[in-house]
Amino acid sequence: MPDAQLLAAQDLRLDVNLLDYVILALYFLVVLGIGFAARRAVRTSLDFFLSGRALPAWITGLAFMSANLGATEILGMAANGAQYGLMTVHYYWIGAVPAMVFLGVVMMPFYYRSKVHSVPEFMRRRFNGATQLLNASTFALAQILIAGINLYALGLVMDALLGWPLWVSIIVAAAIVLAYITLGGLSSAIYNEVMQFFVIVAALVPIVVIGLTRVGGFSGLGEKVKQGVLGEGGLHTWAQTGGTDNPMSANWIGLVLGLGFVLSFGYWTTNFAEVQRALSARNTNAARLTPIVAAYPKLVIPIVTVIPGLVAVVLFGNLGKDGGPTYNEAIPLLMNEFLPNGVLGIAVTGLLASFMAGVAANISGFNTVFTYDIWKSHVNGDHSDEWYVRLGRIATTGGIVAGIGAAFIAAGFSNIMNYLQSLFSFFNAPLFATFIIGLFWRRMTAWAGFWGLLSGTVCAFASYILYKTGVLDFGTELNASFWGAGIAFVVDAIVSVVVTLVTTPKPQSELRGLVYGLSDASLSDDALAGDAAWYRSPVILGAGAVVLAAAFYLPFL
């Protein structure tokens, strides 16, 4: 996942007028309106934290993808497009789609049918309370810090584009997110994510169309990229990956195992901010379809991120050079260059909306985990359902305030925050190891879950700190995250196996529905009419997404 690298304030001021502000203001009104309207549907804690488990797959699927389509992701992937060329599509076609399909086809039945509220709660059921608390604490802390990084990046972008003072943007955006999540809970967050997806697409498509017109269509773009700094390598994805003589300096083993397996499966299958969207689906089939529905737009998102990056590197010769604009400024530069007032307002709105959706995803994940997995499970579990809804609202407020605090820390120590961002990018690797071993190896014991996860997490930290202090030399940041994730994964697996061999396994009766091969026969089938159709089959649609991902590579080998 990309760094929240910082936008410099010069040369980017957009020529916005009243029309653009009207468009932006309308969006804010609709967002708050959704919050108020969703509030009427919140009666139980299940409504607040999981949208009453009533949403259809297309909504949870788009929200699943949007939770990842924050502005740092969009700006960052355009930046990668400018810097690495077409190799950036690896982040989508091998680094996302296979893991999303795996989550839907293999893992989701366990998550959804166990009726857990969160990933940490699943860890408690499969392992024990200590594992739950460890996972919940690291997750909650990470969400607050990431929300802070997002808010800070938002403040910087708004300062650069519109001249808003940093703290005004941060507080206004945080207040809006706070309002709609406190009111409507996860429903608000999900509805806004779905809406944000369409607005951000409407914002980016005009940039792509005008940009391609300027450079002479796809063939003109290819020609100019070849002649530019990226050269021939900028137009290929797998060429020269036998060695490291390619724009990413990555070889194919690193791409397949590092990005495609450890990093990607860790992020997509165990990150609760993502999985929560699927848990809010209305039945098992819709939950399984959630990440698969998301995989299809994910396949074509590079059109609106990587292509603008390539156009920018062709048009702005000093992009990414000393004294020139940074790679992260690719999309703002193009907005400034191409968009007249009106569409410009849509673009600014889309950017701001996707920042806020990112923060909302972090906060709605945080409040659920704090309420269920930290407070209810480990502090006090004897209150009424309404009491926990209230606690969830308080946790939302606390989370936002802490996020603003983290944003101000980021403003003061931006380096530290950048390091944390890179660290979180492989933070889920050990969690994935624990999860996948626990799923397929019945004998794995409760304490193996805890000690495996703890040692894996500590190793992820340690390897990154050793890299940053120069003790270990991994070359590039990308390589460091691959190795960090790989080491954490392997250590977690080894510790899990060793501890399992010296402790007693849980009885099978406690593992029903939580491990592979021990289904819970007491659960009734929750299929709806129409679920049997081929176009609602997770396996068929999932296979289709993977085949498409592979086919998309063919023209760009």
Partner 1 sequence: MAAPQRLFDIRRVIGGLFLLYGLILTVTGLFDGAQEIQKAEGIRINLWTGIAMLVVGGAFLLWERLRPADAPASSDASSGDEE
- Interface residues toward partner 1, by CB under 8 A: 19, 22-23, 26-27, 30, 33-34, 37-38, 40-41, 43-47, 51-54, 56, 59, 115, 187, 191, 194-195, 198-199, 202, 205-206, 209-210, 213-214, 282-283, 338-343, 346, 526, 528-529
Task: Give the nearer residue to partner 1 in terms of CB position, either 209 or 518.
Answer: 209
DSSP structure string for 370-400? IIIIIIIHHT---S-HHHHHHHHHHHHHHHH
From the CB of 240, what's the least distance to partner 1, in Å? 34
What residue type is 44 in one-letter code?
T
Task: Give the nearer residue to partner 1 in terms of CB position, either 115 or 443.
Answer: 115
Q: How far apart are CA 483 and CA 290, in angstroms?
A: 30
Task: Give the nearer residue to partner 1 in terms of CB position, either 33 or 405.
Answer: 33
List the structure tokens of 509: 């009766």
The Cβ of residue 314 has, within 10 Å, a number of other Cβ atoms equal to 24
- Cα of first residue to Cα of last residue in the chain, in angstroms, is 23
Task: Give the nearer residue to partner 1 in terms of CB position, either 150 or 188.
Answer: 188
Asked whether 281 and 290 are in contact (CB, 8 A), the reply is yes
From the CB of 340, what's the least distance to partner 1, in Å? 4
Q: How far apart are CA 465 and CA 470, in angstroms?
A: 8
DSSP-derived letter for residue 556 is G
Asked whether 513 and 519 are in contact (CB, 8 A), the reply is yes
Task: Give the nearer residue to partner 1 in terms of CB position, either 269 or 368.
Answer: 368
Question: Treating both helix axes as pointing N-terminal to C-terminal, what angle do 385-412 and 166-215 enclose, rounded to 10 degrees?
Answer: 70
3-state secondary structure 179-213: HHHHHHHHHHHHHHHHHHHHHHHHHHHHHHHHHHH
From the CB of 30, what's the least distance to partner 1, in Å? 5
Task: Give the nearer residue to partner 1 in terms of CB position, either 191 or 451.
Answer: 191
Q: How far apart are CA 87 and CA 237, in angstroms?
A: 5
- For the chain, the residue count is 557
From the CB of 285, what's the least distance to partner 1, in Å? 12
Q: How far apart are CA 557 and CA 357, in angstroms?
A: 34
Task: Give the nearer residue to partner 1 in terms of CB position, either 170 or 177.
Answer: 177
From the CB of 214, what's the least distance to partner 1, in Å? 5
From the CB of 51, what's the least distance to partner 1, in Å? 7
From the CB of 202, what's the least distance to partner 1, in Å? 6
From the CB of 250, what's the least distance to partner 1, in Å? 35
Task: Give the nearer residue to partner 1 in terms of CB position, either 38 or 263.
Answer: 38
Phi, psi at 255, each rounded to 5°: -65, -45
